[in-house]
Amino acid sequence: MVDGQLRARGIADERVLAAMRRVPRHAFVPEDLIGEAYADHPLSIGEGQTISQPFIVALMTEALALTGEEKVLEIGTGSGYQTAILAELARRVFTVERSTCLSRAAEERLRRLGYAAIAFRVGDGTLGIPDEAPFDRILATGSLPRRPRRLVAQLGSEGIFVFPVGNRSLQELVAIRREGRSFKETALGPCAFVPLIGEEGWTGGAWCGDTNP
Ligand code: SAH
């Protein structure tokens, strides 16, 4: 996976590649899909949600330019796979998931794998975690209809925020880098994520353990 899918397509950050070698992706997929855990596409994790394609995880992580010192906010815990990659490369990770069931399962899985520096929250991640802001890095692993004002406001100085923005079926992956009072936006390429349902996200139906029906 690392050489054939990631390095071959331009992922060059050795720390990201090493983290993706270390984290056992097969521990994050449903049992019946274990044979496809390292395949070049997203996989269903139940509740209509997906674990992102390895390349997309690597691309987003590389764009965050983590050095090991950062306090990171992730929106959309899902299986917890991306959370584990972030925990390998940052000081502290806060991850928010709207589905109680997915959050609990991810928390149990990540504790079992030995990750300690992760705080799990259930709720609408499009609002961020105002009490814990500012964050050095923010990552949304579901799509947004527009630039989310409240998340941008929780980005620290010199911070980086990576998120997919567009319509429900196709988005552009965007990185916003804050330099003091100025915000510079870079486009990283097209992508297709499941939607973030919430105040600054999309409207949508209820699901298991929903906190915002
Ligand atoms: N990063 C995950 C993939 C997440 S898919 C992984 O590696 O497995 C997007 C996730 O966002 C889904 O689990 C979905 O339930 C969750 N989600 C949707 N709307 C949300 C919201 N407003 N706040 C937090 N999580 C949300």
Give the tens place of pLDDT for each residue, 9-38. Answer: 999 999 999 999 999 999 999 999 999 999
Among 64, 98, 103, 203, name the best residue to mutate to test ligand 1's pocket (greatest count of ligand atoms within 8 A of Cβ). 98
- At 107, which amino acid appears? E
Ligand 1: atom nearest CA of 45 is 8
Residue 210: per-residue pLDDT: 62
Q: What percent of the chain has pLDDT over 70?
A: 96
- The verdict on whether 99 is a catalytic residue reads no
Confidence of residue 206 (pLDDT cuts 50, 70, 90): low
CB contact set of 48 (below 8 Å; sequence gap of 6+) = 194, 207
Q: Is the separation of the CB atoms in 184 and 177 below 8 Å?
A: yes
Q: How far is the CA of 78 from the centre of ligand 1 (A)?
A: 5
For residue 91, how far is its CA from the centre of ligand 1 (angstroms)? 22
Burial 165-190 (b: 16+ CB within 10 A, else e): bbeeeebebbbbbbeeeeeeeeebee
pLDDT confidence bin for 213, thresholds 50/70/90? very low
Instruction: Look up residue 112 and give its two tokens.
Output: 């079992």
Q: How far is the CA of 13 from the centre of ligand 1 (A)?
A: 25
Residue 209 — left, alpha, or beta (φ > 0 → left; ψ -120 to 50 → alpha)?
left
Q: Is the CB of 66 under 6 A from ligand 1?
A: no
Residue with the bigger pLDDT between 46 and 87: it is 87
How far apart, in whole angstroms, are the C-alpha atoms of residue 199 and residue 183?
23
Element (H, E) at 110: helix 100-112
Mean pLDDT of 170-198: 97
Across all residues in the chain, what is the average pLDDT? 95
Which stretch of DSSP H or E encloses residue 119? strand 118-122
99 DSSP β-pair partners = 210
Q: pTM value?
A: 0.97
User: 49-61 b/e with 16+ CB inside 10 Å = b?
Assistant: bbbbbbbbbbbbb
Out of 51-65, 144-158, 195-209, least confident range: 195-209
Fold exhibited by the domain 2-191: Rossmann fold (3.40.50)
Mean pLDDT, range 111-132, rounded to an integer = 97
Which atom of ligand 1 is nearest the CA belonging to 51? 8
pLDDT of residue 204: 83
What separation in Å is there between the alpha carbon of 102 and the centre of ligand 1? Answer: 9
> How many of the other CB atoms lie within 10 Å of CB of 117?
13
For 35-62, the pLDDT digits (tens) are 999 999 999 999 889 999 999 999 999 9
Name the burial class of residue 211, with classes exposed (0-12), middle (13-18) and buried (19+) by CB atoms within 10 angstroms of its CB. Answer: middle
Whether ligand 1 lies within 6 angstroms of the CB of 138 is answered as no
Question: Quick one: which of 1, 8, 104 has its CA closest to 43?
Answer: 1
